[in-house]
Amino acid sequence: MAAKKKSNNINADRFDELLAIAGYIYPRNDKELEQFELLYENYDFKLKNVRINPEEIINQSFEKKGKVLRLRNDEEQQDINELRIAARKGNEHIPQSILEKMKRKHNDEDK
C-alpha cells in the first residue's frame, strides 16, 4: 500500500521531470538524460542504423523531406473504426457526429 502511494506521488515538479524523461521536452540534466536513454534502450526505432551524411550538411545539399504527417490520434482512430463498421454493414447509417466531422474537415481543407 505504501509503495502504491509512493509511485502515485506525482506533484508538479515530478510531472515536469517525467515530461523530460519521456521525451515530451528535452532532458534538462544528466539524470534525466540517463533515464531517457535507459527508457528507450529497447525501443523499436524506425530510423535504426540511419546515418547522416556530413558531406551533404557541409555543402548544404541535404533536402528537407518533411511533410508534417501527424500520427492518427485516438479520436480519429475511433472515427475510422466506426466508419469501417458502417461500411461493412452497408445498411447502417454513418453516425451523425462522424458526418459532421467529415464535413468540417472538408470545409477546413477548402480554406
Partner 1 sequence: MEVIEEMKLACSLNLLEYIGWKEEYPEEAKAAFEEFCIRYDQAVVKAAEIFCYKWNLTETVALDIVNCTFARVWKYHTYNHEKSKSKEVDTGIRRWLNRIAYTQLANYTNRGTCHEPDIETDLSLIYSLDELVDKTTDDEITRKELRKQLKVLDDVIAQLGEKHRIIYLTYKLYAPAGKNIPRSVSKKLQNELELVPGSIRKYKEQAIKQVENFLNRNYGS
Using CB under 8 A, pick the residue from 57, 87, 99, 102 that binds partner 1: 57
18 Cβ contact list (under 8 Å, min separation 6):
10
**Smallest distance, partner 1 to C-beta of residue 19, A:** 6
Residue nearer to partner 1 on the CB measure, 66 or 90:
66
Does 3 bind partner 1 (CB under 8 A)? Our answer is: yes
Using CB under 8 A, pick the residue from 42, 65, 88, 109 that binds partner 1: 65
Segment lying near partner 1 (by CB under 8 A), choices 71-79, 82-90, 96-104: 71-79
Tell me the longest C-alpha to C-alpha distance in the chain. 60
Number of residues that bind partner 1 (CB under 8 A): 59
Does 15 bind partner 1 (CB under 8 A)? Our answer is: yes
Residue nearer to partner 1 on the CB measure, 75 or 88:
75
**What burial class does residue 7 get, using C-beta atoms within 10 Å of its C-beta: 0-12 exposed, 13-18 middle, 19+ buried?**
exposed
Phi, psi of 75 (to 5 degrees): -65, -45
Cα 20 to Cα 41, 42, 43, distances in angstroms: 16, 18, 17
